[in-house]
Every structure is written in C-alpha cells, then in structure tokens.
Amino acid sequence: MTGGPVDLAAMLADLAELVCCESFSSDHEALARSAKTVAAVGRRSLGVEPETLVIDGVPHLRWVFGEPRVLLLGHHDTVWPTGTIHQIPWSVTDGVARGPGVFDMKAGLVQIFHALAALPSPEGVAVLVVGDEELGSPTSQPLIEDTARGLAATFVTEAGGENGALKVARKGISRYELVVHGRAAHAGLEPEKGVNAGVELAHQILAITEIASAVESSSEAGLLSVTPTLAAAGTSTNTIPAVARVAVDVRVPDVASQRRVDELMRALTPKIPGTRLEVVGGPNRPPFDQAASMDLFALAVRLADELGLPPLAGISVGGGSDGNFTASVGCPTLDGLGAVGGGAHAADEHVLVDRLPERVRLLTALIESVREGSR
C-alpha cells in the first residue's frame, strides 16, 4: 500500500494560497480568480492543467487521467462574501488553521492534490472541482452526474463530521418559494378595495408547517422537515400588500417523501378570495442513501486500521453535498473525507492541522484500492 510521508508544510502553503483567494459563490469575478488559483495549485501536484468549463459564468475544473474508475469531487466556492478575508484572515496558531472556506472545503481540495501526488501515477482517476456547490450546484449538476456515471467510486472531500467522522448518508433537499398575489390599495383611504397578500401568506405559512406531519409516519418523526424561512410582504406601511413571499427549506430521508412533499406544496390553495398562489422551485438534491456508501465505508475502516489511523465513525447528516448527485446515478459514494475541524459557515471555521496528513494517507489508500480493483 502506498503510504509515504506527507509534506505538511507544502500542504499548508497550498491551503494558504487557496484561502487567501476568496471565492464567494455569487461573485463570478472572484470565482474566476479562484479557478485559476486552484488550477495552479493542482498543476504543481499533478503536472498538468485542468480542463476549465465555464457554465453560465461559473468556472468548473476537471482533470481526467486515462480511463477513470474513481472520481475525486470537491468545490472551490464558499459562502463567504468577498472581503471576509479582512475580518477572518488566514492564520495558523497552536495547530489550528483559520480563514474563510478553510474547512468548507479548501482543505479538502489540497488533500485531493496531495493524495494523488503520493501515488506512482494518477491513471484511472478523475478530479472535478465545481464552483457553485454552495448554491445547490445549479450549473454543475449535469457535469457531476455525467462524470460519475458508471465509475467504481466517488470520494467527496467535503469536511468531515465531529472528530473526522465520514458522512455515509445525507438527506435530500428541496427548495421552494411560495409567492402570494393579491391586490394593492391605500391602507387608510380604501382598504376594502385591496386583497391582502400578507394575510394570505400568514395562512399559507401555517399550512406549510403541517406538511411534514402529513407525510411522515410516527416511526419516522423528525426525519423530515418542511420549514418556512425568509419571508417578505408589501412595499410600504400604508399600502395593502399586493405580493408576499416565503422561502421554504425541505429535508427528506427518501425519494418517496420528497415527491409527496412536492405534491402537497403544489396543492396549496388560497384561503382569501381574490388571492392567487405561485409555487416556484422543487427538489434540488436527491437523498444519498447509506446503501451507496456501505461498502466504501467498510473499506475505509479497514484501511484506516491497516495504516494505524484513528478509528473511523460513519454518520448521516441533514446537509446535502454533490455526493447526493453521484449516489443518485448509481455510483458508490463516500463523503466527508476532507478536513477534521469545525465551524462550517461560521466565524470560527477552522481545521486541525495535525490531522491533515492522516486524511491524505487515507484518501490515497482508498484511491489505490478501488483503482486497482482490490476492494
């Protein structure tokens, strides 16, 4: 089994370069700069330039070596608005690396490059780094699915769970916006001529909160959530609202419940005469069932033991990733192979530096085992 020493200093230099090049998902200029930086870091480890695919202004990077059996999957966009680096600067103090995107998931990209560099050859591997994962991968989903389809394994280097737990299942995600159309009128002079979209929205929010209990059985309670989140109504304080809207976040354990929630969202009906409902959106990520990861997780546990690494745990999480897409096209998928740390999407985002080499060693062993068909 390949397993030489990992150059931690080189890893940290690469990580600093990626973190300091900000890549907010909604800033296409920043993403373009980030893609060039990721390409340069990857080129140093892999020796070749990636293919750059720009879809609707979003840059994605792909390396393909020979006939791939294994896909290494990650993203270079982050949730942090451009300029955050000045409030949360890159730093390494007392063995903890910090900075916007360091945990989710720029350390995971560095791990991909160094794991491949540790192999005698990258033959049989594809690497895909997308630029819109944090937005739900609207431009990269077909690219992800096409790249993964028919492969023996996808390894996703999203950040690990607590103490580096691997992510063996993820809930499916649906996203909706319910728009209520009413009729505006002066709230003081002639309110009777208006149809209040805000009041209708209140009725609909209450109806939406009942959808989860209508779908899940008592034995599944808590596995499914249908949550109204961001809401707005009206244009001024003295006008009957003509339009109101609410975003709805849905997390589901299986495809059947995702479909049923979609049916019930589209079956919502107005309570106030004269209002009209518009449902926008739908399923975003299919559920990632544990069956897709079971064999790969068992392999990871065995390899970690052989390498003398800490024992691995497997967890199911509510958050989605691009691993949902690879699992949905039938590609065995193991997620959460990235950094050990915490604080994803939070001001205390951080990576434990001394755990980086062990994660590279594990990923290298996984690639080697699957690529050679020995799993």
Domain 8-170+288-371 shares a fold with domain 172-285: no
Tell me the DSSP string of 282-331. EEEE--B-GGGTHHHHHHHHHHHHHTTPPPP-EEEESS--THHHHHHTT-
What local confidence, expressed as pLDDT, does residue 1 receive? Answer: 59
* CATH assignment, 8-170+288-371: 3.40.630.10
Between CA 106 and CA 101 the distance in angstroms is: 6
pTM for the structure as a whole: 0.91
Q: Peptide bond preceding 105: is omega within 30 degrees of 0, i.e. cis?
A: yes
What local confidence, expressed as pLDDT, does residue 223 receive? Answer: 87
Going by C-alpha positions, the residue among 302, 295, 358, 292 that lies closest to residue 330 is: 292
The residue annotated as part of the active site, out of 22, 77, 216, 262, is: 77
Please state the domain extents for the chain.
Answer: 8-170+288-371, 172-285
What local confidence, expressed as pLDDT, does residue 218 receive? Answer: 47
Query: Other CB atoms closer than 10 Å to residue 183's CB: what's the count?
Result: 16
What local confidence, expressed as pLDDT, does residue 374 receive? Answer: 55
Where does residue 136 fall: left (phi above 0), alpha (psi -120 to 50 degrees), or beta otherwise?
Answer: left
The residue annotated as part of the active site, out of 22, 133, 262, 335, is: 133
> Would you give per-residue pLDDT tens digits along the chain (375 residues)?
555 678 999 999 999 999 999 999 999 999 999 999 999 999 999 999 999 999 999 999 999 999 999 999 999 999 999 999 999 999 999 999 999 999 999 999 999 999 999 999 999 999 999 999 999 999 999 999 999 999 999 999 999 999 999 999 999 999 999 999 999 999 999 999 999 999 999 999 999 999 999 998 644 667 899 999 999 999 999 999 999 999 999 999 999 999 999 999 999 999 999 999 999 999 999 999 999 999 999 999 999 999 999 999 999 999 999 999 999 999 999 999 999 999 999 999 999 999 999 999 999 999 999 998 855
Is 133 one of the annotated active-site residues of the chain?
Answer: yes
Is 27 one of the annotated active-site residues of the chain?
Answer: no
* CATH assignment, 172-285: 3.30.70.360
Going by C-alpha positions, the residue among 342, 371, 183 that lies closest to residue 273 is: 183
Residue with tokens 């409902």: 277
